[in-house]
Amino acid sequence: MNLWAIFLIGLTTGGLSCLAVQGGLLAGIIANEKEEELSTQEHDAHSRKAARREAYLQKLRSTEARMNPLASVQRVLAGFDWLPITMFLVAKLLSHVALGALLGALGSVITLSLGVRLTFQVFTALFMFATAMNLLEVHPIFRYVMFQPPRFLQRFIRNTARGKAMFTPAILGLLTVFIPCGVTQAMEVIAINTGNPVYGALIMGAFVLGTSPLFTLIGIATAKFSDLWNHRFLQVAAVALIFMTLYSLNGVFVVLNLPFSAQNIVRTIADFGKPPDWYGSAGALAAGNSVVPTTNGKQVVTISVTNNGYTPKEFTVKAGVPVELDLETNKVYTCASSFTFRTFNIFVQLKPTDSKILAFTPTEKGSFQFSCSMGMYTGMMHVI
C-alpha cells in the first residue's frame, strides 16, 4: 500500500484544500480563547499599562527576530496551549479512520463506474477552484459554492465554539467528517476501491495525518501571528489550489484522451514534422520498441500494475491481430488498479492482488493511450 504517497498528498494539496474548508473551525476555537483572554484583561486595573508594555516588547522581539529567526520561533511556541489543537486533530483522525473503514467495507459490494468517477473528479476540481477564488476574494458569488453543514450542525458549531468545555475542540474535530474538502472526497473514493475496511481506514488515517501539520500551523498563526500573516498564508493556499485544479482537470482529459491534455500537447509539439509511428517500409517502430510476437494467432502482453504505474509503459503490436492484455496487480492500492483504455471501451477495476485478461483487436494504426481512472498513470500502445 502506497501510504507514503497518500500522506504526502495530505501534507501538500490535501492539507491546503481541507484547511480552506475546515480550518475555520480550528481558527474559531483559538480565536474565541484569545477573545476570552482579552475580555479578562479588560477587567484588570493594570491592563492598559500591560498592553503598552507588551507593545514595546513586541517591537524589541521584531528587531531580534530579524537577527535571530530561530529564537523568534522558539518564543512563539513557548507557553502555547497545545490542548485545543491536539484534541481537535485527534478527534478528526479518529472520525476519518472510522469513515475509511466503513467505506472500505462498502467497497466490497459496490463499484463506481468510470463516468461517475470522472464526474466526481471534475466536480472536485471545480470545487477547489471555487475555494481558491473565495480565498482570493475575487467575487462574493464564490462564497455560495462553499460546502456548508446542515443548519442544525451549524447552530451546534456556533454554540459549541463559544463554550468553555475542555472537549469543545474534540467535538468540532469529529464534525469535520461532515465537511469534506475536495481532496478528502478523492481519498474516500480510493478507500471504497480497496474493498477492505482495514485498508480503507489506513488510507484515510494516512491522509488526515498528512493534513495535520498545516492545521497545527494555522492554529499557531491564529493565536500568535497577525491578521496580515494569515491573509498571505491563505493567498499561497489559493495559488496551490489553482494548480491542483488544473492537474485534476488534466487527469480527466488524459482518461478521455482529449487532444488538449498536457501530455498530448507536449507529444504533438515533440513529434512535429516526424512521420507517424506506423510509417515506413517495414513499419517503423515507435521509440525503438520491438513488435510483440504472435503466438497461437494472438499477441499477448503482460502488464505489471504497481502503485506507481504500468510496466511496460509502452509496447507495439500489429493491426488486425487479436491482442490479449494480461493485467497483474500485487498489493496495489492507488488508482493504477482502475485500468482504462477508452479507445477500446475498456474499463476494469482490479483488486489489490489480482489478474485479469482483456481481449480486443486493434484495426487502426497509430498510438493509443491507456491510463488509470484519474489520469495519474499512463501508458501507450503503438499499432503498426
pLDDT at residue 201 in the model: 93
pLDDT tens digits, 300-311: 999 999 888 899
Whole-model pTM?
A: 0.60
State the cell numbers at 41: 484583561
Instruction: Establish how many alpha carbons lie within 13 A of residue 286's alpha carbon, considering only the half-sphere containing its beta carbon.
Output: 22
Question: Cα–chain-centroid distance for residue 296?
Answer: 45
Residue 267: inside a domain: no
- Best-predicted range by mean pLDDT (35-49, 69-83, 361-375): 361-375
The pLDDT of 67-86, averaged and rounded, is 59
Lowest-confidence pick of 13-22, 169-178, 248-257, 283-292:
283-292
Q: Cα(188)–Cα(174) distance, rounded to whole angstroms? A: 16
Residue 322: inside a domain: yes
Nearest CA-CA partner of 24 in 234, 229, 204, 183: 234
Domain that residue 357 falls in: 274-383
How many angstroms separate the most distant Cα atoms in the chain?
96
Question: Cα–chain-centroid distance for residue 309?
Answer: 18
- Give me the number of domains the chain comprises: 2
Give the total residue count for the chain.
384
pLDDT at residue 121 in the model: 74
What residues contact residue 305 under an 8 Å CB cut-off, 6+ apart? 327, 328, 329, 332, 336, 337, 339, 350
Q: Do 314 and 215 lie in a common domain?
A: no
pLDDT at residue 37 in the model: 55
Q: Cα(204)–Cα(50) distance, rounded to whole angstroms? A: 46
Domain boundary pick from 200, 228, 255: 255
Residue 233: inside a domain: yes
Q: Do 251 and 290 lie in a common domain?
A: no
Asked if 160 and 172 count as a contact pair (C-beta separation under 8 A), the reply is yes
Residue 147: inside a domain: yes
Asked if 131 and 179 count as a contact pair (C-beta separation under 8 A), the reply is no
Q: Cα(163)–Cα(169) distance, rounded to whole angstroms? A: 10
Q: Do 15 and 56 lie in a common domain?
A: yes
Asked if 35 and 223 count as a contact pair (C-beta separation under 8 A), the reply is no
Residue 26 has pLDDT above 70, yes or no: no
Lowest-confidence pick of 111-115, 327-331, 356-360:
111-115
Q: Do 193 and 339 lie in a common domain?
A: no
Q: Do 33 and 180 lie in a common domain?
A: yes
Query: Across-strand partners of 324?
Result: 300, 359
Backbone dihedral region for residue 80 (phi beyond 0: left; psi -120 to 50: alpha; all else: beta): beta
Higher pLDDT, 182 or 272: 272
Residue 67: inside a domain: yes
pLDDT at residue 214 in the model: 83
Domain boundary pick from 202, 224, 255: 255
Residue 263: inside a domain: no
Q: Cα(1)–Cα(5) distance, rounded to whole angstroms? A: 9
Residue 144: inside a domain: yes
Cis omega before residue 180 (within 30°)? no
Q: Do 47 and 94 lie in a common domain?
A: yes
Query: Across-strand partners of 354?
Result: 329
Task: Please give the share of the chain, as a percent, with pLDDT higher than 70.
Answer: 63
pLDDT tens digits, 254-290: 888 888 888 778 877 876 766 655 554 444 454 456 7
pLDDT at residue 235 in the model: 76
Q: Do 229 and 297 lie in a common domain?
A: no
Lowest-confidence pick of 69-78, 225-234, 282-291, 366-375:
69-78
Residue 384 has pLDDT above 80, yes or no: yes
Q: Do 220 and 278 lie in a common domain?
A: no
pLDDT tens digits, 330-383: 877 677 888 999 889 898 888 778 899 999 999 999 889 999 887 888 999 999
Residue 131: inside a domain: yes
Lowest-confidence pick of 27-31, 103-107, 129-133, 372-376:
27-31
The CATH number assigned to the domain holding 345 equals 2.60.40.420
Q: Do 241 and 281 lie in a common domain?
A: no
Asked if 372 and 357 count as a contact pair (C-beta separation under 8 A), the reply is no
Domain boundary pick from 206, 226, 255: 255
| Cα torsion angle, 369, 372, 373, 375, sign | negative
| Cα torsion angle, 158, 160, 166, 169, sign | negative
Q: Do 282 and 227 lie in a common domain?
A: no
Q: Do 150 and 78 lie in a common domain?
A: yes
Q: Do 313 and 241 lie in a common domain?
A: no
